[in-house]
Structure 1
Amino acid sequence: MTGYDGLPPWSINSFDTPVERFSAHYATSRSHCMTSAALANLRQADDESLQKLRDRFGGIVIQIHNLNPEVALHFILLALQSGKFMDSLCKKTPSSMDELYERAKGYIQMEEIS
């Protein structure tokens, strides 16, 4: 069934009508660009490891075209739960995602051991 099967006779009064119906019918098939707004509600779950959060964050980040690294850093800092890692970041805020990931390695290893 297409978007045209149920049209009453003479309901297409201009070329725009079928274009609009076609667009509406197939709108869900269209790929959507992800923006940095997708990171705004990202939060580390109570039982989520730092590694899983980093992986989830990375999965979203790679879908955002031209993401400013400072924006990414801002959102990952907002997503983190309070704890030892967050305490260390508050004492000395990382200047880049690379620095944050490097500092996270030790905390990820500690989580894996315990």
Structure 2
Amino acid sequence: MADEIMCRAFPTMLKGPVRIWFSGLTPNSISTFKELSAQFASHFIGGHRYKKSTACLMNIKQREDETLRSYITRFNKKALSIDEADDKILVAAFTNGLQKGKFLFSLYKNDPKTMSDVLYRTTKYMNVENALLAQEKQPKKIERQEDVQQDRGRKMARIGER
């Protein structure tokens, strides 16, 4: 029970790259706090990494055929390799790499201040996009059901004519 509480409390204290690292963990891949601690230590302490400059983030660009989700994943992996990346630089680099479009426009319009805010807005945008796609697909199913009912009606009418 204490293990579960510690695992649930752990992410509430995270910020910046550590939060990004935690968000990238596969759901249900860690079962104890000891295991979570070991993963954390090996990632941030165990293999001492050389410091990378935040300038390398400016080279990350969303590819033409790349989804927003894939771009976020790639960006976050690179951001994790940078020690003490400033939130303003992360936001600037992320938005700099986005393809021009409605989402980029909405980010500039609302001017997010933190990377957490950017990720929150990104998630909301992707959820809306998914809902709209699902809504577009739904009427097609209804139309098909109506077509089937009309076909049955025609068949019944033909049978009745005989």
Give TM-score scaled by structure 1 length.
0.66
1:44 to 62, 68, 80: 62
- For the residue of structure 1 that corresponds to 2:123, the secondary structure is helix
Match of 1:56 in 2: 74
CA distance in 1, matches of 2:123, 2:58: 24
Any unmatched runs of 5+ in structure 1? Answer: 1-30
2:98 to 68, 80, 90: 80
CA distance in 1, matches of 2:126, 2:106: 14
Deviates more, 1:31-40 or 1:55-64: 31-40
Q: Does 1:66 align with 2:97?
A: no
CA distance in 2, matches of 1:104, 1:49: 12
Instruction: Give CA deviations for 1:69-113 in whole Å, capped at 9, x if unaligned.
Output: 111111001011111111111211111111111111122231587
Matched residue count:
84
Read off the aligned partner of 1:88 and give its amino acid letter. S
Match of 2:107 in 1: 89
Structure number with the higher helix fraction is 2
- For the residue of structure 2 that corresponds to 1:100, the secondary structure is helix
CA distance in 2, matches of 1:92, 1:37: 24
CA distance in 1, matches of 2:50, 2:116: 28
CA distance in 1, matches of 2:60, 2:78: 10
> Structure 1 residues 52, 111: CA separation in 2 closer, same or farther (over 3 Å shift)?
farther
CA distance in 2, matches of 1:95, 1:63: 21
1:49–1:111 contact (8 Å) kept in structure 2? no
Aligned residues: CA RMSD: 1.8
Match of 1:26 in 2: none
Read off the aligned partner of 1:102 and give its amino acid letter. Y
CA distance in 1, matches of 2:79, 2:119: 14
> Structure 1 residues 39, 57: CA separation in 2 closer, same or farther (over 3 Å shift)?
same
Structure possessing the higher relative contact order (Cα contacts under 8 Å, 6 or more residues apart): 1
